[in-house]
Amino acid sequence: MPDSRVPRRRRYLVCEPRHFAVQYAINPWMHPDEPVDVIRALDQWQALVDAYRVHGHTVDSVKPVPGLPDMVFAANAAVVVDGRVFGSLFHAPERRPESVPYEAWFKSEGYDVYHPESVCEGEGDLVPAGRWILAGTGFRTTREAHSEVQEYLGMPVISLTLVDPYFYHLDTALFVLDEGHDGNIAYYPEAFSPGSREVLARLYPDAVLATREDAMAFGLNSVSDGRHVFISPGATALAGQLADRGYVPVPVDLSEFHKAGGGIKCCTQEIREIRS
C-alpha cells in the first residue's frame, strides 16, 4: 500500500513571519494578551520550508510588510488554478492591506489577478479538489464569492457551510489528500452543517474522518503532495489513519502559529500552473 502513493511536485508561496504577532482577535484562537515568540515562530516556519524542499517542492517567498502580522498566512491571499489567480477581499479590515503585496508579487511573476467583489479569503475557504472546488462559507468567505469563483475559474464550486467558530476557514476543517479524478479528502464532520456533511459523505464515501481532538490540534490544516502529508505532530490519531491508508505523515510543529488560528496550510499558498 505505501508504495502505491505517488507524490506530485508542487510550487508553494510563503511569507516569512518576521512581523508575526497577535495584535487583535478575529477568531477564537487569538488572544492579544498572550505573547508570541517570534524567534520560535521563525524557526518553525523555516522548518516547514525546509521540509517542502527536502521532499522536492519549489518554495517562493513574498517579502513581509511591517504592520501586517497575519501576512505569514499566505494561503488566504488567493487561490491559483491553471495559472489563474483569484485574489482576496478579507473579511477583517485589519487584514485587507495584505492583498496589495501579494498582488504585486503575482504581477511581478507575470500573472493577472482577479479582484473579487465579495468577501473572499483565498485558499482559506477555496480548496481545489480535482474536478471541482470545495468552498467554505459561514464565517469569512461569502456565498456570492463562490459564484464569482465559478465564473472566473470555470470550475464547479461545491458550497459547504461551516458552523463551529474554531474552524472558521475551510482549510482548518478539511484538506485534500489526492486531486485526481478519484481524489480523496480528510475532514472533521462536526465542523459542517448537517446538509454539508451529507454532501461530503456523498462525494467522498471513503474520506478520512478526523476527531475533534485532532482537528483542534490543527491536524486538518495539512498539506498533501499525494504521498507525503505535512501535518501537525499533535494530530496523532489522524496521522495513524493516514499511514494506514498508505500516506507518509511528515510532522512539522507550527504551534506558535496556532496562537493566531493558523498552521501548516495557512502558511502555504499553492501555485497551480496549467497542466498539460
Q: Residue written as cell 491536524?
A: 219
Q: Would you name the residues annotated as active-site residues? A: 169, 266
pLDDT in tens, 48-103: 999 999 999 999 999 999 999 999 999 999 999 999 999 999 999 999 999 999 99
Give me the pLDDT at residue 257, please.
98
Residue type, 111: Y
Contacts of 162 (CB under 8 A, 6+ apart): 136, 137, 138, 139, 168, 169, 170, 173, 191, 192, 193, 196
- Interval 235-243 mean pLDDT: 98
Contacts of 140 (CB under 8 A, 6+ apart): 91, 119, 121, 124, 125, 168, 169
pLDDT range class, residue 275, cuts 50, 70, 90: low
Q: What mean pLDDT is reported for the chain?
A: 96
Q: Which of 130, 245, 229, 132 is nearest to 180 (CA)?
A: 130
pLDDT in tens, 110-140: 999 999 999 999 999 999 999 999 999 999 9
